Amino acid sequence: MLIRKKFGFESAHIVRNCSSDRCRRSIHGHSYKVEVLLEANAFDNGQMVYDFGLMKGTIRDVIDAFDHAVTFWDSDHEDYIELCKQFSARWISLPVSPSAEQFSRVFFVIIDALLKQTIMQNGEHDVVLHSVIAHETETGYAQCFRADAYNPRMGELKLEDIVFSDQVRAEWMDPDMYERLKRGESFTNPEVTMQVHTREDD
């Protein structure tokens, strides 16, 4: 069975070398929607694949990192990268260009690692990431499946090559979360989560 949880963030970028002129050489922003699809063949103690509330921990933090941030390709012009860092406290550097396709791959690789390193507490069974959908606009989206995430022909995505600015990390529940993820440390789920409403929950 599949479950799907939707998140949102507002972010700015340029996508170099694409066909759309407005997109390739002008900084512009989108109200992104990201759908995270999880899969399992059995239920937890609450007869769920995975409690939606649990997805509002590290998974939400990683997606929210991109909110009110500028995301750039680390192969972009060095002057542009320098200006992004100088004039935006919140920035993310990616080893790939920030197209909808690459956003969906970036989220897949990070969330996949998070899930693999999460110690479940409520009888969850073999919960795996099925896919990630990144909606760039109301009409355009990309969906990344496992084979896409780890496909070197689409660009190699290593956790250590994705860099979050100091301000982004400072706003996480655990500012050390991404460093812990890269070190392969475990994340233990809370036994109970407290309800915190977000726009997407309404």
Binding footprint of ligand LPXRUNBV on the chain (CB under 6 A): 15, 18, 20, 23, 28, 99-101, 136-140
Q: Name residue, tokens 């995270």.
A: 36
Residue (26 or 195) nearer to ligand LPXRUNBV, CB: 26
Question: 60 exposed, middle or buried (CB, 10 Å; 0-12, 13-18, 19+)?
Answer: buried
User: What minimum distance in Å lies between the beta carbon of 98 and ligand LPXRUNBV?
Assistant: 8
Residue (75 or 137) nearer to ligand LPXRUNBV, CB: 137
User: What's the rounded Cα separation, in Å, for the pair 15 and 79?
Assistant: 16
The alpha carbon of 157 is separated from its chain's Cα centroid by a whole number of angstroms, namely 13
Quick one: tokens of 110? 């990070």
User: What's the rounded Cα separation, in Å, for the pair 21 and 158?
Assistant: 29
User: What minimum distance in Å lies between the beta carbon of 28 and ligand LPXRUNBV?
Assistant: 6
Residue (95 or 120) nearer to ligand LPXRUNBV, CB: 95
User: What minimum distance in Å lies between the beta carbon of 164 and ligand LPXRUNBV?
Assistant: 21
User: What minimum distance in Å lies between the beta carbon of 151 and ligand LPXRUNBV?
Assistant: 16
Residue (64 or 101) nearer to ligand LPXRUNBV, CB: 101
Closest CA to 142 of 113, 109, 99: 99
User: What's the rounded Cα separation, in Å, for the pair 147 and 175?
Assistant: 30
